[in-house]
Each structure stands twice: as C-alpha cells, then as structure tokens.
Structure 1
Amino acid sequence: MDWVRGEVVGHGSFGKVNLAIPIKQNTQFLPSMVVKSCGVSHSATLIDEKKILDELNGCPEIVQCYGDSYSFENGEKLYNVLLEYASGGSLAEKIKNSKNHKLLEFEVSGYTKGILKGLQYVHEIGYVHCDIKLQNILLSEDGKVKIADFGLAKRVGTKKDDNLRCELRGTPLYMSPEMVTRGDQGTLADIWALGCVVAEMVTGVPVYKFSDVTELLMAIGVKNQLPEIPETLSEEGKDFLRKCFVKDPRNRWTAEMLLKHPFVADHDDTVTFTEIPSTSPKCPFDFPDWVSDECGQLSVTCSITCLPLPENQEKLNWSSGSGGNLPTDRLRELVSEFRPEFEWSCDGWVTVR
C-alpha cells in the first residue's frame, strides 16, 4: 500500500508515530492508520513488535498491524510499521478529560472486560505484554478497548542471559512483586498491572504514592505493601481487585478466571462515552531523570529520585550486573548508576511511497 507520512501523533516504546495517509483514496476500504517508524539500525525491537502483532492478528481488543515497509528519508533508512489508528485516544486521556478525573464504575467495568479479553488472547498465544498501563490502553472511535504498544512484550518463559538477570521490564508503578524481587514476568504480572489500571480508573490517581522510585520498588518487593483498594468501589469491584493483588502469582487469578468474575461477567459491553479526545494517544517524556529528544528516544539514569504522574511515567527496560540473591541485593543493583545511550536523529520527515 502506498502512503504518505502525516502529522506526528505520538511516540511508542521504540519509535515515532505519525498518521499514515493512503495515496489511492478510491480503493475499496482504506483503514485509518498510523505508522510507527525508527532508524533501521535501531529497529530490532520494532521488528519484533511487528512479528508479535502478526501472531495476535484477529483479536478486536488488540491494535491491528497492516504491514511494514522500508523508506529512505533525509539520507536515513527507516523501518515502518503500519498500525490501526485508535482515534479515541488512551484511557489516560479519557480520565484526564473526564469529570473529577475519574470514571464511573460502569465504565470501569466495561473497559476492564475489554482489556481482559485482549489479555486472555495474548496469554493464550503465549506472550506477556509486560507494560499494561493506562497509556497503552487505547480507544477506538466507538470507545472500544484496543491494547497497544507491544514493544516490551516477550514469550512466556523466555529468560535473559544470566549476566543480565537484573532486568526491569515495564513501568515501575505497575510492576508486580515477583518482577521486582526476582525478575520473573509471566502472564500473571499482566494481571497485577491490570489491577493497578482498574484502581486508577476509579480514583484518578496511582495506586502507590511515592516520590522516589527506590522507595516504590522497596514497598512492592520487600515490604509486601499491597495497593490500596478504593473504598468507593462496590463489593464486587473490591473482590475483583483482591484477586489481582495477590503477592504470590500462583494464587493470582488468570484473565480467563477474571472474565467470569461478577464485576465484569454481567457487563453487556455497552459503555456510554463522553468527551472522547480527538487526538491520538501520546507518551510524554518529561520525567526530570529521563532525557528525551523529539524522536522519543530515552537516555535512562537508574538513580531516579522522582516518580512521575501516570501520564508522565516512562518504561524501564535495562539491566545491570550480578549480585546477591536477596530482594534487597537485587534492588540495590536496580538503582545503581547505569546509563544506556541512544543516538539517532529523525529530523525533517519527508513524503514516503
């Protein structure tokens, strides 16, 4: 499909996102599309994301992939992935634009059911999303859920090299205890993150209130501090969150089990939507300890001293050396000084065919 690059509408985990406008407007059906692009020398993760989306093709609760291509722009070879355009924005934007910056329980139940349907499919195919959060749950024009941004997703059971065992993959506020303490990230880690998303939809604020990432990780991984369950939720809603916020993942409910929970099972999938943003979801990069250029690339400092609000949360996907086996030893390694460097430029986009 021939297309031209439109305006910038956001950034994904590892690439810049523009509207993609088909050149031939007189063909049968032309889907609304965006294109995620990055330099070929940095395209390994985006290529993997495209392969994962191909395997997940067909699930209505997951952003669809329409193909990929290469292009030369301003002397640089780019890798491009064409994706479904979720014009309703993200859940983060939905909450920001809602009255009192929170959602009604009826809406929360509907969105939660859609997310669970998508997660069940992801897990059945054998993947873990690894970064479920408000910014990565998009809404279609009619308000239906679309799980997006599989840049950090991985196969269930895959392990990193032992020399890189201190990996953090995801966004700190949504990390499960087993991820923080042991680096274990199975499908049940997505369920913990889902619980954080549900609680945040209800209250409009993060489930943890820490100004320091080190304190946050210690609370999750060492102090066994569970997220607070909103008092305004119904008993069914509270029980649903209790099934998500179980420290031992072996006792945490799966997506399939949660879909049968009364909090979502009786929902008719019809949600009333108001004030749906007209812009595409974005991932701001303005956390003081994360330096970002206009292409959305990150320069990560692990000695982080300030935790951003949800809309400014960034992803951690970095590793450091080996150390002790205790959770406290692992956490010391995770907050040690380490700065990966990313260097590439994406100035002056041009028309692509």
Structure 2
Amino acid sequence: MDWVRGETVGRGSFATVNLVIPKGKSKSNSNSTLFPSTAAVKTSEVSTSHSLKNEKQILDCLGSHKRIIRCFGDDHTFENGEKYYNLFLEYASAGTLAYQVKFHGGRIPEQYIRRYTRSIVEGLSHIHCNGFVHCDIKLQNILVFHDGEVKIADFGLAKKTGEEQSEKQRFECRGTPLFMSPELVNGGEHESPADIWALGCAVVEMVTGKPAWNLEKDANMWSLLRRIGAREESPVIPGELSKEGKDFVEKCFVNDPRKRWTAEMLLNHPFVEEVKSVNESSPRTHFDFNDWVSNVSESVPNSPESEEFCQWDVDSSFCSAVDRLQQLVTVERPASWSESDSWISVR
C-alpha cells in the first residue's frame, strides 16, 4: 500500500491518528485493501500494538455495518529506526460526540441525542448479535461524520462474548471507570450488559456535559469504583430529559445485568423511535408548536454562516420547527428580499 502520513488528528497513550495521503495506486495484497482518498491511519510501535491488532481482528469479524467504523486494511512501516503497525480506518471530519458536547456549550439538544443514541444502539445490536462486547463505550469513542451520522469506533478492548479470562484478567480495570457497570467492577464481567450501562452514562453526558457520576472535587478512581460496586446508588438521571429519555436511561442503569435491557430491546424504546419527516413535523398554524421547548434554542446553532452551524448541518428530516426557524434568522437583513421568485402576496 503506497501512502504518505499526513496531518496528526489524534493522539492517545499508545497510538496516534494521522490523515492518509494515497501515493500512486495501491496494490492489493493479503494485508491491505483499497481505501478512499479521505482516510485515517492509527499507528503504534509494534511492541505496543496488541490493542490495534485486536481492533483489526474484531472489525474483520464484524464486517460492514453502517454504525461501525470501516477498516481498510493494515500494514507495517519502518520510521526513524522503529517498526510501526498501521491500521487504516474511516476518517470522521466532525470529531467525536465528546467534542460535539463541548462545541455546543455542554449540552446537545434532545432531538439530536435521540438520533445519536439510536445509531449507537443499532451499532451495539450488531456487535452483540455477532458475539462480541465493545468494553469501552463512551462519547470519545463515537465518531461524527460530515453528514451528521455517527459510528462506534475504538475496538481495542473489545472481546468475544463468554470468552474465558485468566485470574488476572478478571480483576483488571478494563475500560473507562466512569462508564463501568457494577458487575464489571465487582466481578470483572465484561459482557454485553456492561455496554448498555455505559450507553446510559453516555446519554447522561450528552444531556448535561458532565460525567454521569457526580464526583467530589478530590475524588479518585478507587472511591468511584467503590461507589459503583456497592450498588447502593445509580448515576443521577437528568431532570431536563423527557419522560421517554428518563425511562430509556433507567433501563440502562438496572443493577442486575440479567434484568438490564438489551440493545435489541432498546431499539423498540420510544426514546429512539425513527424521527418524523419534515412535512409531518412542520407547523400548520401560528400555534402549532407542540414540541416547542424554550431552552432548546440556547444549544442550537444560531448563525447559518458560522462554523458551528456547518457542524450541525445534518439532513433536514431531523430538524425541528425551532431549528428551521433558527436557520432563517440572521443578524443581517438579506440584500434584497424581492429577488426571490417564490414570494406570494397575502392580505
């Protein structure tokens, strides 16, 4: 595969992510495939590439799915005297859901949260039905694309369902503490219900911009794990969520993993029902704003010319009446309202 390493777009403890610049024609072989002009390469030294190689293996097993990051192959390179392992993946130009929360002032409007959550559940359903567990669901691992679609990424910690673990693995801290389920903390159970608990934490964070667990200023990881493992409390469900949203999160935060809803069950929950089309949701009269919520506009982009607006320029079928009106309101008046041929005179 003939390529050049481009701009660095991400960096972690053991890997960096760069844009891929194709160089000439790619030659197909057993280790690589053709990739589009816009792709990313995730790289680590061979000595620390275990999680990257695990990610490649899991993605190959999962196959193509609209809610899972696509993998275009892998290879090895020698750079500055070191041998590196490279994994080629889709590039998400709008960053992660964690970035989107910060970009929009710490709160994503619920109509967007519903759509994002459904996409994540669809991805989890595919992962779980194929016999795998992601093990690290969080907003930082959900990528956002230019069209507003999201996909689950970072399968470095993923594993097969029911996979036998060593004594050491059962007590290792696998995943991100703030998203860990009680059974994972207490017994190292890395199974599909743990992904659902983490999903609930992710939804709360999209709503509030803060972790699902209310942490003391001087709290450490171990005090948090004790709280989770004690099963005496659950993360606080945001009061600003709709009734459907609160019920959805409650289904994710059931302490007993055997009673916690599965991804397949959550797909039928009212909170993530398919969004109505524009024609069905547009107001018919001056007072036809049944879904109007006064504080939604605070988090919705307010200038069509701004970069913020462009980041949220998803398909119009998802925009509420409030969003569409916001897009029409600008600081400056148009140069000439009379230039349009579509105006109709009314009395």
TM-score of the two chains, using structure 2 as the length reference: 0.75
Distance of aligned partners of 1:91 and 1:164 in 2 relative to their CA distance in 1, 3 Å threshold: closer
Residue 163 to residue 54, structure 1, CA distance change in 2 (3 Å): closer
Aligned residue number for residue 229 of structure 2: 221
For 1:22, the equivalent position in structure 2 comes to 22
> 1:141, 1:72 → 2: CA distance?
33
SS at match of 1:249: coil
| Structural mapping, 1:91-130, within 5 Å | 91-98=97-104, 100-130=105-135
Backbone CA RMSD of aligned residues: 2.4
1:73-112 residue CA offsets vs partner (Å, 9 max, x unmatched)? 11111111111001111001101010x3101110100000
Q: Find the residue that maps to 1:7 and give its secondary structure.
A: strand
CA shift, 1:164, in A, is 4.1
The residue correspondences of 1:1-353 to structure 2 (distance < 5 A) are 1-12=1-12, 14-24=14-24, 30-98=36-104, 100-210=105-215, 211-268=219-276, 275=308
Q: Is contact 2:21–2:37 with CA below 8 Å preserved after alignment?
A: no
Cα distance in 1 between the residues matched to 2:53 and 2:98: 27
On the 8 A contact 1:94/1:276 being kept in 2, the answer is no
Quick check: 1:13–1:151 contact (8 Å CA) kept in 2?
no
Structure 1 runs of 4+ with >6 Å offset: 25-29
CA drift of 1:256 comes to: 0.7
**3-state SS, counterpart of residue 21 of structure 2:** strand
Deviation at 1:192, TM superposition (A): 0.3
Which deviates more, 103-112 or 222-231? 222-231
Give, as a single letter, the amino acid of the residue that structure 2 aligns with 1:222. A
CA distance in 2: counterparts of 1:268 and 1:90, whole angstroms: 25
Measure the CA separation in 2 of the matches of 1:94 and 1:163.
37
Question: How far apart in 2 are the matches of 1:144 and 1:92?
Answer: 14
Shift in Å at residue 244 of structure 1? 0.4
Cα deviation digits, residues 142-161 of structure 1 (max 9, x gap): 11011111111111111321
Larger radius of gyration: 2
Hey, what's the Cα distance between the residues in 1 that align with 2:309 and 2:170? 42
Deviation at 1:226, TM superposition (A): 0.4
Give the SS at the match of 1:250. Answer: coil
Q: TM-score, normalized by length of structure 1?
A: 0.74
Quote how far apart the aligned CAs of 1:29 are. Answer: 7.8
Q: CA deviation at 1:223?
A: 4.5
Alignment partners' CA distance in 2, 1:226 and 1:240:
14
Give the Cα separation in 2 of the matches to 1:273 and 1:247.
Answer: 35
Task: Tell me the distance in 2 between the aligned counterparts of 1:207 and 1:251.
Answer: 21
Deviation at 1:31, TM superposition (A): 4.0
Aligned 8 A contact 2:170 2:189 in 1: no
**What residue number does 1:299 align with?**
none
Question: CA shift at 1:4, angstroms?
Answer: 0.3
Q: Matched residue of 1:146: which SS?
A: strand
Letter in structure 2 aligned against 1:240: F
The 1:26/1:185 distance shift into structure 2, 3 A limit, reads closer
**In structure 1, what residue type is equivalent to 2:15?**
G
Residues 19, 33 of structure 1: 8 Å contact kept: yes
Q: CA deviation at 1:45?
A: 2.2
Percentage identity across paired residues of the two chains: 53
